Amino acid sequence: MNKIKVFVSGAGGKMGKEVVRTVLNQQDMVLVGASDSRHQGKDVGELIGTRPLGIEVTGPLEAAYLKEAGADVMVDFTNPQSVLKNAKSALAAGVVPILGTTGLDENDIAEIRNLVDQTKVGAIIAPNFAIGAILMMRFAQEAAKYFPHVEIIEQHHDQKLDAPSGTALKTAEWISEVRKPMVQGHPNEYEKIKGSRGGDMEGIRIHSVRLPGFVAHQEVIFGGLGQALTIRHDAFSRESFMPGVMLAIRKASQVTKLIIGLENFLD
């Protein structure tokens, strides 16, 4: 059996370490390389607290590293400042990038799409790899057909750099597909402290919480006449994202265009 050759970018981060551990336990995958600017020169086994694995962590990702490793897939969990460059390096090397790092804007995504078209190498961007979170977004979209008054509260650890989260933005986007833009609340409401009502996307208020101890949590709150509906998803550990990451890795060989969202691989 030909195993899928996986390279992990951002291997020293919390998500990166979890991806490394999970890939090592898959019978149909093999870890061929890892990069992390903070842990350059270390053995990957040292990062995850196991015996040496004979794979040295490189510095900032370069296309040459991916080619040398013979990677099929590059999984990226770095930061918003690095993810676009890493995606471009992967595509230049003929490697499918799977991007779990959020923070890409519309121009970044357009640039990746153009490179995908030029190189004929696919790419996957997933705002959230938790399958439960995908279902939460689907259910919220369905509920919005009947409850147009809605706000989103997302809660993450205090080391997350971007706000709101990619999942919150995707949720608002899905809701906007079935709900006309509208102004919620009293027409004369005002903020005593700027930002108290959160961000505004198509009339949907989004609130971001950043506190230590959290991983990734989101609730979508709908209000109606005499009732309320709350749809909530909680990721209590980074293990919750791994089934989705492994699904994306296994689907990568079939991807020939830019795919945005893990929902594209769910039945």
186 assigned to active site: no
DSSP labels for 43-79?
A: BHHHHHTSS--S-BPBSS--HHHHHHHT-SEEEE-S-
pLDDT higher than 80, residue 190: yes
pLDDT-above-90 percentage for the chain: 89
80-124: pLDDT as tens digits: 889 999 999 999 999 999 998 877 889 999 999 999 999 999 999
| Residue that the structure tokens 């594209």 belong to | 264
Same structural domain for residues 107 and 15?
A: yes
Catalytic residue among 17, 160, 207, 233: 160
Same structural domain for residues 119 and 24?
A: yes
Same structural domain for residues 214 and 140?
A: yes
160 assigned to active site: yes
57-94 exposure pattern, b = at least 16 Cβ within 10 A, e = fewer: bbeebbbebbeebebbbbbbbbbeebbbebbbbbbbbe
Query: Within a 13 Å sphere around the CA of 13, how many CA atoms are in the beta-carbon half?
Result: 18
Catalytic residue among 156, 207, 217, 251: 156
Tokens of 208: 């971001």
15-29: pLDDT as tens digits: 999 999 999 999 999
Helix axes 242-251 and 131-144, enclosed angle (nearest 10)? 90
Same structural domain for residues 220 and 244?
A: no
Same structural domain for residues 118 and 167?
A: no
209-231: pLDDT as tens digits: 999 999 999 999 999 999 999 99
- Give how many domains the chain has, as a whole number: 2
- CATH code where residue 15 lies: 3.40.50.720
Same structural domain for residues 71 and 137?
A: no
Same structural domain for residues 144 and 206?
A: yes
Q: What is the pLDDT of residue 181?
A: 83
Are the CB atoms for 260 and 102 separated by under 8 Å? no
User: Can you give the pTM of this predicted structure?
Assistant: 0.84
What domain range includes position 259? 4-125+239-265
- CATH code where residue 202 lies: 3.30.360.10
